[in-house]
Structure 1
Amino acid sequence: MMKSSIYAALFLLLLIANSYAVSCPDYLDVSFKKLHSSQSVDLCQLTQGKPVLIVNTASHCGYTPHFKELEAIHQKYHSQGLVVIGFPSDDFFQEEDDEAKTAEICFINYGVTFTMLTPTAVWGGDVNSVFKFLAEKSTSPKWNFYKYLIDGKGQQVQVFSPRVAPDDERFISAIESLVVKK
């Protein structure tokens, strides 16, 4: 009896592990280092089954004040499942060369508490897997602060240019269509 219980438990663990592997899209099956930290973030774990807002950011852009509104979105919708992730990038030549300064602008100047990752390419030949997928599903960012809303299955993508402010009614409506109402 004990032996069959162990086999049943192992079988259950394999089923759970297999469903986890199946539910994570390839482009999210990556880890990135957190901004100005030695810690990494497993995007599968962070986003599994949740709607996601991904933003390519820059510290010295005219849209940098969007951080304040993005933080407000994070605070309002985090408990409803929304995951906000910022990808700093110098692809448009408006990001700090020093990661510590980028972190200071995000965390100190704008009070960002949502996940911010180490600077990375968001378009071009060395684009990361996340932005490669986003470009294939919609468009690559043409400037800083493009906002990508992804459904909980990780497949449906809605893109908003930086001209659409994070507090724009259309953008908020798109978020609310994805989150769990509480």
Structure 2
Amino acid sequence: MTHPTRRRLLALTLPLIGALAMTASPLSAEALTGPAPAWAMPSIEGGQISSGDFKGKVVLLVNSASLCGYTPQYGDLQALQDKWAARGLVVLAVPSDDFHQEKTSNGEVKDFCELTFGLTLPMTEISKVTGPEAAGPYPWLAKTLGFVPRWNFNKVLFDGEGRVVGTWGSGAAPLGGEIEAAVSALLS
């Protein structure tokens, strides 16, 4: 497929995909699940990131991509972490090429995020978030909640015990809306 043809196809399908990706689960004061089982993923910095690293912390898990229309959310995700980190929030980015919008190497992703958005939040290596090769907590999310990212920048909020308390689609803004209100409620 030539690049102009691919761009036209994407221009026709992105609004439909975006509408599907914007769905969110209702947020309640109670957790939607029991605690997630332990998991680990390779860090983009080297070494491992594991669920044990976040014991007692509120975690916002986000499947991300550098070449997506929602990529500017990185700025708000960093601002959210900067605002709430001292009270116990960790925003964890999981770059993924499942929707064919990620750069080709971990180094390119790391450089792009640091240079473009000044990201300091923890980030895994490029990982699968859908299908049988999904990494980290994603297989458990699919099995337990039926939550599978339908596009980039889907968000899952875990309380300090590792229980899911909310999920949001791509269009949910990290700052000033439901997500920040949920973070605030958990950290107050």
Is the pair's TM-score, using the shorter chain for normalization, greater than 0.5? yes
* TM-score, with length taken from structure 1: 0.79
Gaps of at least 5 residues in structure 1 are 1-23
Q: Does 1:31 find its partner at 2:17?
A: no
Matched, 1:140 2:148: yes
Would you say the 8 A contact 1:138–1:158 is kept in 2?
no
> Which residue number corresponds to residue 102 of structure 1?
109
Tell me the distance in 1 between the aligned counterparts of 2:136 and 2:177: 30
Whole-Å separation in 2 of the counterparts to 1:117 and 1:63? 18
**Alpha-carbon shift at residue 83 of structure 1 (Å):** 1.3
In the alignment, which residue of structure 2 is the partner of 1:52? 59
**Paired positions, count:** 154
RMSD (CA atoms): 1.7
Q: Which has the larger radius of gyration?
A: 1
Q: Which has the higher contact order (CA 8 A, sep 6+)?
A: 2
How many Å separate the matches in 1 of 2:73 and 2:36? 28
Other-structure match for 1:85: 92
Q: Does 1:74 align with 2:78?
A: no
Q: What's the TM-score once normalised by structure 2's chain length? A: 0.76
Q: CA deviation at 1:75?
A: 0.2
**1:34-55 deviation digits (Å, cap 9, x = unpaired):** 21x33222321x2102111000
2:155 matched to 1:159? Answer: no
Q: Percent identity?
A: 32
More helix by share: 1
Unaligned runs of 5+ residues in structure 2 are 1-34
SS in 2 for 1:97: coil
Give the 3-state SS of the residue equivalent to 1:143 in structure 2.
coil
